[in-house]
Structure 1
Amino acid sequence: MAPGYVIALCLEGAGAVGFGIGLWARYVERRARAAELARFLRSGQTGDPVPARTRPVPMPRPAPPTRIRTAATPAVRVDPSDALLALRSAYAVPTG
């Protein structure tokens, strides 16, 4: 065989070996990630989706009371629940 064919075969073989090593490394990395995710899910810990410095600032004043009108009573004053206050403070738009 001519030397050019031998060199080409060696380069093709090296490329195939490199491709195989790359596939093997990708497989090992995916298995490690899956094992890490499974370990995290089994631990029962909850991740903090919002870092502390980007959390919304709570509202400085309470929400206004809600008035419900029915046929029996003209106006009944109902204070907002804790859940409603938490929702309002979570989605408060900062002014200024």
Structure 2
Amino acid sequence: MKKQKFTRKQEQFYLKDFFIYIQTVKMLKSIEIDEELYEFIYDHFNFEILAECSEYKYELFNLNFLEFLIQEKCFLCFIKLNIDEYLESMLIYRDELKKAA
């Protein structure tokens, strides 16, 4: 079987998405949200919901995350995430998945 080759750009998109995911769940764990909701977000992370709840919307994926690494803000502040809106949206998403199952 032949290994799939990824372009440098594809690799960068993947790594950026992974970085966003890891930093988001790390910060959510640190603010001690409901454990059941945290586990759901960890297992069913949704980039669209995250983008919709950020002031940046889909421009979120074009941010220079190197700037985050050299400053003092928390990640959720850096991406200007409305945490309450995000958690509410994830609760709705969880309920929709439960109904579909």
TM-score class, shorter-chain normalisation, is under 0.3
TM-score normalised over the length of structure 1: 0.28
If each structure's helix is expressed as a fraction of its own residues, which one has the higher value?
Answer: 2
TM-score normalised over the length of structure 2: 0.26
- Which protein has greater RCO, CA pairs closer than 8 Å, 6+ apart? 2
Kindly name which structure, 1 or 2, has the bigger radius of gyration based on alpha carbons: 1
If each structure's strand is expressed as a fraction of its own residues, which one has the higher value?
Answer: 1
